[in-house]
Amino acid sequence: MNRRNFLRSSTGALLSATLLRAAAASAPPEELPAAHREVMRRRKRRIVVQYDANDPMWSYWNLHRNREATFAPFRDALFSDMDKLGSQIDAIWWDIGGSPLGCSYPSKIEPPVDHPMIKQWLGDGIDWVEQLVNETRRRKLEVFWNHRISEVECLPEGGLSKDRHPLKVQHPDWAGPASWWPQGMWNLDAPGLREHKVALLRELATRYDLDGIQIDFSRHIPCLPVGHQWELRAHVTEFMRLVRVMLLDVAAQRGRPLLLAAKVPQTLAGCHTDGFDVQTWAEQHLVDVLTLGSRSMDAEVEGIRAAVGHDVHLQPCFDDHHATDGYRYGSIEFLRGVFANHFQRGANSVVTFNWSIGTPDVCRLLGSDIGPPTHRAAYQEVGDPNSLTGKDKFFAVERRGGYPWADGFFNRNDTAPLPHRFTAEGRTAKFVLHVSDPPPTGGQRAQARLRCILFQAAAADEFEFLFNGSPLPVTERDPEWKDGQIFSPKPPPNSGGKGIYPVNPGQRLLRIDCAVPLRAWRLGENEVEIRRSSRAPFTDALIQLEKLELHLGYQ
């Protein structure tokens, strides 16, 4: 039995894990045609929009249930941000697979989604996927299909099904248990599931004029048996190989390359936890682009770059619906800091996900929630380090919490440093702040201030602050500070929802600002040390550091 047939026939039993890993590790690299390598050499992206068009489609239908939901206004509205003068959007990766209970396009493999809007358009001779792909290409933007590897059973008009997917019933080995989803998640150690998914992706690649396909592991994990993900990583590697071989075959038939991307956790350790052997993928030419993370602002670009080399493009993602805890719908200064850090750390491009679809008028036209204006402003500047230079921004330390829909590492931010509790024994804490901007030279003027937000700290509590070893003077203290996205002493709520966070008028946080001299901060990693030097009398509540930020202002 040859290597590939052995991997395909394996049941994924733990006894064969060593043999599977050995077979996958010894496989020769896939041969990439010269045209493929040339496309990768020339391909430049600034902002990639991972575009979930299902939500606006559902909202549009809810507004027009009397067959007035014509396609053209919907189509044009989806492109409003891309059509705006000055947009830095170079690619749309359509995330419109819809419900796993059916296909959002005419498929010969799976039944169609039973949604009246799609039925109406198909009845009118409109394949909305084809239209959106062609309109993307007409605008000379890169177009990918984003395949959610393990979506939950969403009902066509919203809500979640209580019934298992028919294929999970027919093929019990295709689904593995998940603590957060009773129907179980797709399980890539099942050879039949891998082959079924490759067949679906082949249908998409041959039906639509795509530039590539992204395998989106962020929706959802686990995709391997929990506790054995790294042992069984060869199954995911084999799946990536099957997809790569299929895309190379389709590309040869059509005479134009088809690229392959994967959305994986934002750290190398996180990839290992979830069973994604990105180093082997790169060594064996199984992937062209890695999208790093989804709801994190702290992507370990350097570490993953060291593992995969420079032939694989890296692009961190920021989901502003399930945003990193405490920073949903942040200011433009916050978004500048997030994306400028990504480029400073070596990213090729950046990705947005779950952002507003356009202006308030566009959102009202489609019945969608109105997002913050910062999204539209960011599309004009966060895709190019040059357009971020010399602009006000701030940088923050990541917070935990807010994402229960995963068994593993992806999306949970469980390793984030904040919130941090100061105890009687642990009065000192150290943190790393990444800063994309070096101290200004050549006459440019800037001011930097460190901001700390503390819970259960009294106005009389004293703290000392060091920035890269330099003591900082406290310039302002506000014991009445309020922040609608801090919920202590309660745990943070699940991320998502409407994005409205009313401020509790009784909330009392302590905000401390410190001046940071130019000589103290540096490009890249900066160490911040906080010492609780004294406590107010008759106070025994544990102080918790909620947020730690560096604000830069240019003059």
Per the CB < 8 A criterion, the answer to whether 431 and 511 are in contact is: no
- What is the rounded distance in angstroms from the CA atom of residue 353 to the CA atom of residue 343? 18
pLDDT band at 442 (very low <50, low <70, confident <90, very high): confident
pLDDT of 156 above 60: yes
Q: State residue 206's pLDDT score.
A: 98
pLDDT tens, position by position, 454-487? 999 998 899 999 999 999 999 999 999 999 999 9
Each residue of 447-459: b (16+ CB within 10 Å) or e? ebbbbbbbbbbbe
Instruction: Give 494's Cβ-side CA count (13 Å radius).
Output: 7
| Residue ranges, CATH 2.60.120, the chain | 420-554
CATH number of 3-389: 3.20.20.80
Q: Which helix (H) or strand (E) holds 261?
A: strand 259-264
Q: State residue 12's pLDDT score.
A: 40
Residues, the chain: 555
- What is the rounded distance in angstroms from the CA atom of residue 243 to the CA atom of residue 233? 16
| Residue ranges, CATH 3.20.20.80, the chain | 3-389
CATH number of 420-554: 2.60.120
pLDDT tens, position by position, 8-28? 443 444 445 666 667 777 789
Per the CB < 8 A criterion, the answer to whether 289 and 317 are in contact is: no
Q: State residue 391's pLDDT score.
A: 97
pLDDT of 6 above 70: no
How confident is the prediction for the chain on average, in pLDDT?
93
pTM of the model: 0.95
- What is the rounded distance in angstroms from the CA atom of residue 512 to the CA atom of residue 472? 11
- What is the rounded distance in angstroms from the CA atom of residue 234 to the CA atom of residue 31? 20
Helix %, strand %, coil % of the chain (to 5): 30, 25, 45
How many other C-beta atoms can be found within 10 angstroms of the C-beta atom of residue 269? 11
pLDDT tens, position by position, 512-534? 999 999 999 999 999 999 999 98
pLDDT tens, position by position, 238-278? 999 999 999 999 999 999 999 999 999 999 999 999 999 99
pLDDT of 100 above 80: no
